[in-house]
Structure 1
Amino acid sequence: MLEVIVLTLVILLLIGALPAWPRGRWWSYFPGGGLKWLTMMMLLLLLVGRV
């Protein structure tokens, strides 16, 4: 159950990091890169069984 909640939260964060207007493109890799890193770490922890 916790895995589903965490996965849903990460997916919502990834969708929220997408630029919705041209000004968001000036952010460079910060929001998307950070969320991708977080997603990869969470998936790794889920696969290892730590979460």
Structure 2
Amino acid sequence: MAISTILIIILVILLIGAVPTWPHARSWGYGPSGLLGVALLVVIILALMGRF
């Protein structure tokens, strides 16, 4: 259970960092944060199901 908690924390930090707030990242749109959000959602679902 500790590995899934650490992975969730890392994905949350990456999700916050992927939000396009810098001028050079505004043209990226929400692609990077959207992909990390989906990955975080999958990890949370797997952790709740007890498979991860």
TM-score (ref. length: structure 2): 0.80
Q: Distance in 2 between matches of 1:4 and 1:47?
A: 11
Q: Which amino acid counterpart does residue 32 of structure 1 have in structure 2? A: S
Work out whether 1:18 is the aligned partner of 2:28. Answer: no
Distance 1:27 1:19 in 2: 7
- Structure 1: distance between partners of 2:12 and 2:30: 17
Q: Tell me how far apart the structure 2 counterparts of residues 37 and 7 of structure 1 sit (CA, whole Å).
A: 12
Aligned residue pair count: 51
The alpha carbon displacement at 1:15 in A equals: 1.7
Task: Tell me how far 1:37 sits from its aligned partner.
Answer: 0.7
Runs of 4+ in 1 over 3 A off after TM superposition: none
Structure 1 stretches of 5 or more lacking a match?
A: none
Instruction: Give yes or no for the alignment of 1:3 onto 2:4.
Output: yes
> RMSD between aligned alpha carbons?
1.2
Tell me the amino acid that sits aligned with residue 6 of structure 1: L
User: Where in structure 2 are there 5+ consecutive unaligned residues?
Assistant: none
